[in-house]
Structure 1
């Protein structure tokens, strides 16, 4: 399982918005793009998808921009992936085309792996990603004598 650039950029943009959530500050596309090193045009498309998915809101005007639609503690990584990739949160079912015992055993393992992945993605919120990022930044900024 690999995270696509599209999903990674969307999560990075959402974490940038999560950092500003409690101060009620909007971020412009160009600010998010610069902070997260995401191409502007690509980011525009991602933000449009996230807005239509109800995860962010756009504010018009000179002081406008984008903000999270709800608290970052209530938006999970899985929510973002479902919005961007159209990932179905339902646990996959057994494929009816499996006719051998070997194929069914493989299918069962694949279902279990998907369930575990969904549980992990559902477990982490944008707030937790933001906190992890802050912790890593703090460690990186420390110097030792």
Structure 2
């Protein structure tokens, strides 16, 4: 499964709103400028997030957007599903080999578990302590 710019930029919007939670609305123009993104593209992404009830719009000269719930109650899975659709590494077919189907289901469930256990609060409070997991080193 590959997350498109819709999902990545949608998370950017939501993290910006989470960082400002409780301090009033944030404009898309402000988010676009801070992250060097297209304001027009962010406008296309905010509509489904609003329709899904994840954000609220505030009208007026000092308007913008706010989270509809606290950052600890909105998961990255909520955002990704709204913007990307269902989480699935492959399209399932009923006649699929049961062993392969089992593998695809496990992969889907693992991805869902990570997305659904990572809140916006987790993302905005993340600190890179330089202790990133090391990948495998292959020698030939």
TM over 0.5: yes
What are structure 2's unaligned runs of at least 5 residues?
131-140
2:30 is matched with: 31
Alignment of 1:85-104 (within 5 A): 85-87=84-86, 95-98=93-96, 103-104=97-98
Write the distance in 2 (CA, Å) between the matches of 1:70 and 1:37. 26
Shift of 1:48: 1.1
Cα displacement (A) at 1:34: 1.1
- In structure 1, the partner of 2:115 is 121
Q: Is the 8 A contact 2:14 2:67 kept in 1?
A: yes
Q: Point out 4+ residue stretches in structure 1 off by more than 3 angstroms.
A: none
Match of 1:77 in 2: 76
Cα RMSD of the aligned pairs, angstroms, is 2.2
Give TM-score scaled by structure 1 length. 0.81
Q: Are the counterparts in 1 of residues 87 and 108 from structure 2 also a CA contact under 8 Å?
A: no
SS at the partner of 1:106? helix
Aligned residue number for residue 104 of structure 2: 110
Write 1 or 2 for the structure with the bigger share of helix: 1
The TM-score with structure 2 as length reference comes to 0.84
